[in-house]
Structure 1
Amino acid sequence: MGSDLAMLPRLARDLTEPEPIPEAGIARACELMRSGRLFRYGEMGADQNDVALLEQEFAAFVGRRYCIAVNSGGAALCLALKVLDLQPGEPVLVNGFTLAPVPGAILHAGGRPVLVEIGPDYVIDCTDLRAKARASGARILLLSHMRGHIADMDAVMAACDELGLLLVEDCAHALCAAWDGRAIGTFGTAAAFSAQTYKHLNAGEGGFLVLDDDDRTARAILQSGSYMLHGQHRSAPAADVMSRWEEQTPNFSMRMTALAAALLRPQLHDLPRRAARWNAIHDRLGAAIARSQHVRLPARSPKERYAATSVQFSLLGFGDDEIAAVLERCAARGLPIKWFGAGRQRGFTSAPRHWRYAGEQGPMAQTHATLAGLCDIRTPLSLTVQDCDLAAEILREAIETIVSARAETGKTGRAATG
């Protein structure tokens, strides 16, 4: 393969490259490091209020009453389930296209994941949701807006109302997204966001839980690890609400540091610009990829406003060996592509069959058929128009090369999914 690729152009761009931290964040982080005061609370007063300010700003940005900043998106999901009084071994519904920390958060909170099928457009199948809810007796749906693909929220909310389900939204990939004009993260009883490096906001690690209910918020603040310093929160219910919970609520030490908040605050202010740039990259690359007859991009509703940090597509009619060959050829030209249908989990990709810790889930045939050809290209903000066009050309060339090789050997690929 090396000889025939030597003369072809390579993508000279690191797709894992994050955007630099804004200078204001770097300056504030240096101030904190010189002071040594990296903890979010101060016994002599709330002199280091970066986290409290960020919580206030994030709640306003999303459109929720309250925000609690924690050390990861997974911790935010765990806290959401805890304040919904999840009981040991209680079933929690979750769509089958997500990342391992999501079923992990259910187990962390003491629950039991019940995986729901997805359809060909990568979002939850509401017919299977109804069936799994009735069969399991679950009262909570943890809906993962995986890779920023937004389900028909009208249908999801109708199912939740019909079944009496409490909705928790995993918005790790959906900050700035909306459905029919309503912000994603405002549909559920609670919603969780991430500030891990490859999300919309980058603190290395970090997360946010947003809520509207006074008592659940009080418990989440205490559970996040406020000690008796919860008066230093700016995004919090009244003191009498906090006081009635403070001796009944355990401390789980999930706090965000002042240093992380210092890095995040200027990013939040700049997020609308960055989201628009991400979508421009997504749309350019997606349109160019879709020129191949062997590629399918998921359909999106006109009601959906997405905020994409990567591009997903399905390779149609290819066997596993052929997909592996396509991706190997792309990688040889500098274009790494993730594959959710691979036999072994790798990097940040996995599928329900890899989550043995989640317990027996049945075949999940529809989900695995969709994931079989589902691929993913990360789209850093540094990508240029030329980079997007070259990446698409690399993928199309790899596809056509493997299709031509198939024709020469008389082999046929697996039936198309989706």
Structure 2
Amino acid sequence: MPEVFAGSFTQQEPIPEAGIEAAVAVMRHGRLHRYNTAGETAETALLEQEFARYTGARYCLAVASGGAAMRLALQAAGVGPGVQVLTNAFTLAPVPGAIAALGAEPVFVETTPALTIDLDDLAAKARPGMVLLLSHMRGHLADMDALMRLCDAAGVRVIEDCAHTMGAAWNGTPSGRHGLAGCYSTQTYKHMNSGEGGLIVSDDADLMARMVLLSGSYMLYDRHSAAPGPGAYEGLRETVPNVSSRMDNLRAAVLRPQIPLLADRVARWRARYEVIEAGLQNIPGLLTIARPAAETYVGSSFQFVLPGRDPAWIEAFLARTAARGVELKWFGRRAPMGFTSSHHSWRYAPQQALPQTDAVLSGLIDMRLPLTFSLDDCAQIARIIAAEATSNAPPPAGHLRQGD
């Protein structure tokens, strides 16, 4: 009988005991709102201080979600109705969604076979004064030195979407620290888990002051200890709108003990990634993604390509792997499914011709790698994928295809 994987692709590790105890303490005193304090520094303010130190940033703001982080950063940078914003064509819906939420217009930039933003297409589309919302999609970092040289020369400001790169680095510089601001997610499937949540880091005092006010500080901005001093808010506090995107003390309490665990988590994710990568080398009709030496990556997901395959074959492949317990996602499907979608289904953005991206996505397969998987689990998953990638068997009888 063919082997079947019995693990769950969505099961995360438990919250650390210190986080559970801190969350219980917050629930016992009931002061969940970040400004509802009684002589103590709020858990949310402490989280901001500690994450700023972790990234080496001057400032940090904790917010309700990774999408909210991107939206606030864009709005604070002056993005509004009718403004064109550059962004990756290969990304997830919250990225163009953050742009569209401000009434702005996403301008999609082509994707390389390495799953990073195409710098030649970026150079062709960049204009002075534009903002690039750069998505480090699925943890793949572009050549950040070359990208920043290009954007600085073109007069383009960079805001980084680091939802998949918390703990990653390019040439030793942490992801999120190259541009004007870095936006992170603490959604369950990311690198720190609070169910939902976001963090923004920046060294720019004016930008951070605007984001604090936008997040819903009212006139309590002086309680943000990882933010500029009160003088930065003069002239802004009555003109910047309040869009209420704060993080609460309960989620901050859950997150704080996870910051010291990030380095270990990065190493463990990389170990799992490398087992999958080794198991999928030299498989006919399957290509893995090369990782540059300058990139310190977080392997919390894995991507490979099935080039030149007919869509019906890929659907059958996905059904066969699913029947053996391996959950894979396909970015080449035109209709959105689950968390996976492409620029074809983002009808709130102008439709754009992106043939290079479409060619890359046509055979692109994606898989989560939670830390609850053992190295033996990863080896088994790779064996199943390798076996089915070289098979022409039909989908299992009666099995519901992922496209149905």
With normalisation by structure 2, the TM-score equals: 0.95
Relative distance call for 1:46 and 1:166 in structure 2 (3 A) is: farther
- Within 2, Cα distance between the matches of 1:78 and 1:389? 39
CA shift, 1:229, in A, is 1.5
- Within 2, Cα distance between the matches of 1:127 and 1:339? 26
Contact 1:40/1:48 (CA < 8 Å) preserved in 2? no
- Within 1, Cα distance between the matches of 2:129 and 2:89? 16
What residue number does 1:109 align with? 102
- Within 2, Cα distance between the matches of 1:246 and 1:199? 33
Contact 1:68/1:235 (CA < 8 Å) preserved in 2? yes
- Within 2, Cα distance between the matches of 1:254 and 1:370? 35
* 1:192-223, Cα deviation, whole Å (9 max, x unpaired): 00000011011010001111111111111111
Contact 1:71/1:207 (CA < 8 Å) preserved in 2? yes
What residue number does 2:29 align with? 35
Q: Secondary structure at the match of 1:69?
A: strand
Give the counterpart of 1:159 among 150, 154, 160: 150
Relative distance call for 1:189 and 1:312 in structure 2 (3 A) is: same
What residue number does 1:69 align with? 62
CA shift, 1:35, in A, is 1.8
What residue number does 1:391 align with? 381
Correspondence list, 1:393-408, <5 A: 393-402=383-392
- Within 1, Cα distance between the matches of 2:146 and 2:254? 38
Q: Secondary structure at the match of 2:305?
A: strand
With normalisation by structure 1, the TM-score equals: 0.92
Correspondence list, 1:78-227, <5 A: 78-134=71-127, 139-227=130-218
* 1:294-335, Cα deviation, whole Å (9 max, x unpaired): 211122211111112110110123110111111110000100
CA shift, 1:138, in A, is 6.0
What residue number does 2:401 align with? none
Give the counterpart of 1:292 among 267, 272, 283: 283
What residue number does 2:363 align with? 373
- Within 1, Cα distance between the matches of 2:319 and 2:142? 32
Give the counterpart of 1:253 among 215, 234, 244: 244
Instruction: Name the % identity.
Output: 48
Q: Unpaired runs of 5+ in structure 1?
A: 1-6, 406-418
- Within 2, Cα distance between the matches of 1:302 and 1:391? 26
- Within 2, Cα distance between the matches of 1:153 and 1:236? 26
What residue number does 2:372 align with? 382
Letter in 2 for 1:100: A
Contact 1:90/1:138 (CA < 8 Å) preserved in 2? no
Correspondence list, 1:332-371, <5 A: 332-361=323-352, 363-371=353-361
- Within 2, Cα distance between the matches of 1:183 and 1:28? 28
Q: Secondary structure at the match of 2:73?
A: helix
CA shift, 1:87, in A, is 3.0
- Within 2, Cα distance between the matches of 1:147 and 1:260? 24
CA shift, 1:45, in A, is 4.6
- Within 2, Cα distance between the matches of 1:343 and 1:290? 28
What residue number does 2:49 align with? 56
Q: How many residues align?
A: 394
- Within 1, Cα distance between the matches of 2:70 and 2:39? 27
Contact 1:68/1:221 (CA < 8 Å) preserved in 2? yes
Letter in 2 for 1:162: A
- Within 2, Cα distance between the matches of 1:217 and 1:96? 28
What residue number does 1:413 align with? none
Q: Identify the structure with the greater helix proportion.
A: 1
- Within 1, Cα distance between the matches of 2:80 and 2:29? 42
- Within 2, Cα distance between the matches of 1:98 and 1:308? 17
What residue number does 2:11 align with? 17
Contact 2:284/2:390 (CA < 8 Å) preserved in 1? no
Q: Secondary structure at the match of 1:222?
A: helix
CA shift, 1:46, in A, is 5.4
1:280 aligns with 2:271: yes
CA shift, 1:109, in A, is 2.4
Q: Unpaired runs of 5+ in structure 2?
A: 395-404
